[in-house]
Amino acid sequence: MIQIERMNRRPVPSLVLLTIGLLAIGTLAAGMLLSGCGRSSGGGKTASQQKQQYHCPMHPTYVADRPGDCPICGMKLVPIETKESKTPAGPPATAGTATGAAGARQLLYYRNPMDASVTSPVPMKDPMGMDYVPVYSDEVSAGSGVEGHAAVEVNPDELRLAGLRTTVARRGTLARTIRAVGDIKADETRVSQVHTKVSGWVEKLFVNSSGQAVRKGQPLLSIYSPELLATQEEFLRARESAARFAASDAPEVRRGGADLLESARRRLMLFDVPQSLIETLEKTGQPQRTVTLEAPASGFVTAKDVFAGARIEPGTTLFTITDLSKVWIEAEVYEYEASLVRLGQQARVTLAYDPSRTYTGRISTIYPYLNTDSRTLRVRFEFDNPGLVLKPGMYANVELDAQAVQGVLIPDAAILDTGPRQIVYVMIGEGRYEPRQVKVGLRSDSQAQILSGVKAGEAVVDRANFLLDSESRLRAAITSAPGADTAGAGAR
């Protein structure tokens, strides 16, 4: 059998062998080419998928690889622009490892979304099921000169969503207008009261209603007083005695009669007997049963406390007469505005029932004490009252122009008042904002004078600055967290 097989073998032609070899080489080359193309296509697709990430518009530090809601504020996540400087390559890395090629962001650690002081070197979830937020080196490297705050970097899309706006600080003049509500009162130096110095009865009233206008010397009322009647008789007897003594040759007698007459006349005058009544006594020689009292000043009867037939006693207030040709307006300014008011300062007043007219007056008195209940200082103004349009009891709108100041001016809305300090956010670059502590001077008409902290020409945030403030505080908390000092710290 072996011999037969050997006899049947025939030599293979060389041309056939060459053809088989070429076919094998071509098949191997085609397979390698197809395999390489497939790997290149699949690798490019994976890299593209890794570049697309999402983050929260209000909390840029929270980054996710899929759409969803922010675990901190609940806002919808937005896509991150595919830039090489912000693209974390490869799968989630542990703290301290690079997340891409040269120039990529450096992952430091992961923090609890509800408590920045709780960190972990690896991704994990908090007890509520929320994912820890990755923290990168560029997020904790930016500091500021304000304790508890950090500089903030925001991209244009986030600025648009937050509605943030900036205004350039300028150097200008700021005039402060003090506004207060005043109370119109009668001028106390123009108030007169009518009294009687003797007892008696009211026989007749010539002025019998409040609000009635009177003139100086106008009759007010007539009274019957036994004391006044006796005084008139004494005056007449003294007059007769003085006439008899005038014929004496002794100078002392003549002088004594004259002194007696003058004493009786003075007593009548001290009882407020009008001079016209005394002249009538001298002419007629007959005492008058009633005596008429006259108005001591011109004005309006603002109080009437007497009626016809009433018995009166010495010291009884019969009428109150007020001259309203000039009035007082008393207003209260806040304690911090006390340094802006001074004696003689001009004020403008408008009335609620006629705001078209403006009245001008001046400060006559600044009260030397403070109202401890309202923490205000009372100021008195004097105003002329033509036409008696300023009526006591009315309210008036008072405006005072304080002395203008010059300096750096910014919108008042740009200032975040935290109590012990005031903070302003200043744009220091495209999308970068720095918190600064400022010293505020005068404020007026939605503008504020800045004494230090901001220079003219710098752009300050005057809208949505509270969002920057919250982000600044968050980044400052991240920076001060234990994980910011060592990226390899374990979960706390």
Spell out the SS3 assignment of 120-183: ECCCCECCCCCECEEEEHHHHCCCCCCCCCCCEECCHHHHHHHCCEEEECEEEEECCEEEEEEE
Question: Domain 167-174+405-460 is in which class?
Answer: mainly beta
Least confident range from 112-121, 200-209, 253-262, 413-422: namely: 112-121
Q: Phi and psi (nearest 5°) for 206? A: -90, -25
Q: Is it true that domain 177-187+323-401 has CATH number 1.20.120.140?
A: no
Q: Which residue has the higher pLDDT, 253 or 144?
A: 253
Strand partners of residue 173 = 406
Instruction: Return the pLDDT at 84.
Output: 46
In this prediction, what percent of the chain has a pLDDT beyond 90? 35
pLDDT, one tens digit per residue, over 199-212 is 999 999 999 999 99
User: Which tens digits make up the pLDDT trace of 367-379?
Assistant: 999 999 999 999 9
Q: Which amino acid is at 174?
A: L
Q: How many residues are recorded in the chain? A: 492
Amino acid 188: pLDDT = 93
Cβ atoms of 314 and 197 within 8 Å: the answer is yes
Radius of gyration of the chain (CA): 50
The one-letter amino acid at 161: L
148/436: higher pLDDT: 436
What's the CA gap between 252 and 485, in Å, rounded?
117
What is the pLDDT, as a whole number, of residue 9? Answer: 43
Q: Quick check: 40 pLDDT over 50?
A: no
Strand 219-224 relative to strand 177-186, pairing: unpaired
Stretch 467-479: mean pLDDT, rounded? 81
Token reading at 490: 């374990």
CA distance 121 to 325: 84
Whether the Cβ atoms of residue 326 and residue 380 lie closer than 8 Å to each other: no
Question: What is the assigned CATH class of domain 197-315?
Answer: mainly beta
135 burial class (0-12, 13-18, 19+ CB within 10 angstroms)?
buried
How confident is the model at residue 147, as a pLDDT?
A: 78
427 in Cβ contact with 144 (< 8 Å): no
* pTM for this model (two decimals): 0.56
Asked whether residue 30 carries a pLDDT value surpassing 80, the answer given is no
Residue 313 token pair: 């006693």
Residue among 49, 57, 65, 69 nearest 134 (CA) = 65
Element (H, E) at 429: strand 422-429
For range 234-243, the mean pLDDT: 86
**CA–CA dist 247, 243 (Å, integer):** 7
Which residues have CB under 8 Å from 366's CB, separation 6+? 341, 342, 343, 377, 379, 380
Per-residue model confidence as pLDDT tens digits over 55-91: 887 777 788 888 888 888 888 888 876 544 444 444 5
Q: Assess whether pLDDT exceeds 80 at residue 159.
A: no
Q: What is the DSSP letter of 7?
A: H
